Amino acid sequence: MFFKVKNYATLQAALEGLCDFLLSQDVGQESIFDSKLVACELLGNVLKYAQGEAGLRGEIKEGFIELKVLSESFFALPDKIECSSLFAESGRGLFLVNTLCEEQVFAEQDGILARIRIKK
């Protein structure tokens, strides 16, 4: 499964496509919600901070949902992922990603690549 995300309208379509894909793979509702939330946070960060397009790739591997988000341009990643204030306007997204995922890797690869794994 692959989606190109150019703006918030295509972000919504990509999230719906992700849910359809995961339903077709007999993934449970909790894992679908977690995957949708994580993908939304990562793709939203690309749209907000990289001001470019992003790609979302998903597959089921070894009992995990593996999602890859790739931005076409670079932007600053935080040195440390910490829990921000509950009422902060920003800063909760990567903490949520970190909390919900079994594994996450952020790397620079023709932009920023985020690879995350969520238990199926």
Would you list the domain boundaries of the chain? 2-119
DSSP state letters, 86-111: TT-SSS-HHHHHHHH-SEEEEEESSS
What is the residue-level pLDDT of the chain in tens, covering all 120 positions? 999 999 999 999 999 999 999 999 999 999 999 999 999 999 998 898 887 889 999 999 999 999 999 888 766 666 666 666 667 667 777 788 888 988 888 777 777 888 999 999
Q: Is 34:100 a contact under the CB 8 Å cutoff?
A: yes
Region for residue 26 given its phi and psi (left: phi exceeds 0; alpha: psi -120 to 50; beta: otherwise): left
Give the model's pLDDT for residue 105.
82
Task: Name the packing angle between helices 93-100 and 29-45 (round to 10°).
Answer: 150
- What does CATH list as the number for 2-119? 3.30.565.10
Alpha-carbon span 84 to 99, nearest angstrom: 13
Q: Are 69 and 56 in contact (CB under 8 A)?
A: yes
Predicted pLDDT of residue 86: 66
Nearest-10 crossing angle of helices 29-45, 8-24:
150
CB atoms within 10 A of CB 105: 11
Q: Is there a contact between 39 and 56 (Cβ–Cβ < 8 Å)?
A: yes
Residues belonging to the chain: 120
Predicted confidence at residue 76, as pLDDT, reads: 60
What's the confidence (pLDDT) of residue 84? 65
Q: Record the pTM.
A: 0.86
